[in-house]
Structure 1
Amino acid sequence: MNRRAMALTFRSTLAALAATCTFALGGCNMTPAEQPPLAGAAIGGDFTLTGKDGQAVKWSDFSGKYRIVYFGYTFCPDVCPLDMQNIAQGLRLFAKEHPDAKPIVPIFITIDPERDTASVVGKYAANFGKNVVGLTGTPAQIADVAKKWAVFYQRRDEGKPDAYLMDHSRAAYLMGPDGAAIALLPAEQDGKAVAAELAKWVN
C-alpha cells in the first residue's frame, strides 16, 4: 500500500470514528457542529517513553496542557520534516495572533526506535523549536503507543540494514488539556492552515 492510499484509508477510518461519536452525542444540547472532529474518539492513552536525556517521560507529565502529537522518524526523507516545519510555523503564527491562549506542547514520537535513540530524537526535535519534545522507547513501547493513537508503521525490506525507510501514517493530533483527542491538524498543507485549525479549538 502506498503512502497516499494509506493516508486516505487512515482519514476514512477517523472520519467514521468521528461520525460515530457525533451520532452518540445527538441527545446533548450542543449541536454536532460545535463538537471537535475527534470528540469521543478512542485515540490516545497513557504511556511512558524516553526523553532526550534518557529520562522517563509520561503522558501524564503534560496534563493540563494542549498537545500536538506527531509520529515519524528522524531518517524520514520527505513528509516528516515538512510536516514538522509546518507544525512549528503554525505554532509561531498562532502564538503571535493569540498571545493569551494556553500554551501548546508539540511532541514528536519516533516509529523507528532502533535508530532513533534518545539523543538522536532529541536533537532532531530541537531543530523545530526548543519546546518540541522528542520521545523514543523500546520497540514494544513504541508499538503500544502507536496502537493507542491508531498509527500504522512498517519497515520497508529494502536498502542497506542501516539505511532503510519506514512506511507510516501521516497524522498530527491535537489533544486537549484532559488528554482527549480534539482534531487532526493539516500539517501536510502549511503553517497558516495549522494555525487556523488551532484557533478553532485552543483558547
Structure 2
Amino acid sequence: MRKFKRSINGKYIVIKAEEELEPQVNVLYQVLSNIETNNIIDGYSIQVGWTVYFIREVSDIFQLKAPNFSTNPFEEETNDLTIALWIQLQQSHLLRKINVEGEIIKFSDKVVIAKNILQKSDIYLQRSDGQEKGDSGWYIGAVNDEDDTDDLEAFYAYQLLKIRPELIKVLALPYEYMVVFNDDEIKAVLNAEDDDLWDIVDE
C-alpha cells in the first residue's frame, strides 16, 4: 500500500492504493484538478466511472475515500482505493482493447440475472437501453437452453465482485452489446450489428 499526496488547487489530497495502480491514481488526480477550490471540502463527492469518491478532511489534510465494496458500500467507506481503481483499470483496458467508447455504470446499478445462472460455465451478458434510473440495462442468461430459466433475480453490480468478479470488466460496455463467457474467459463481444469485436482482437 502506498500513500500518494498531491496539492490540488492549493489543498493537499491523499490517496491510498497499491503501488502498481499509480497510473489510475494520476487519472484521479487529473479529475480532481478540475474541481473548483471552494468545492474541495469535507463531504464533497464526485463520480468517476463506476465509483463515487468522497473528500474527507482530517487535520487540515483531505483524504479521498470510496464506498467499501468488501462490506456494505451504501453505509461504509474505505481510504484504500485499490479495489475501486482496479475496477477502473479493468473496465478501461477492455474498452481500449476493442476500441469502443463505454457507457457509465455505477456500482449501485441493478443487474438482472436468470436465477442460479452465475454458477454455470457458459453464460452471456446483454445490455439494453431505455432502462429506469438505477438499472444498468444488463441481463445475464444461459448460453445453453437446458440451463435457462424464467425465474429472475436482481443484484447490485458490486455484488458480482464476490460472486463472479471476472464479469466486472465488461460492465462499462455500451448498450446493445453482448458478451459470451466460458468460465472466466471471454469468448465473444458482439456489438449492436452482431459483429464479434473479440474475434478481431484475437486475429
TM-score of the pair, normalised by structure 1: 0.27
Q: Which structure has greater helix proportion?
A: 1
Q: Give the structure, 1 or 2, with the largest relative contact order (CA under 8 Å, sep 6 or more).
A: 1
Q: Which structure has greater strand proportion?
A: 2
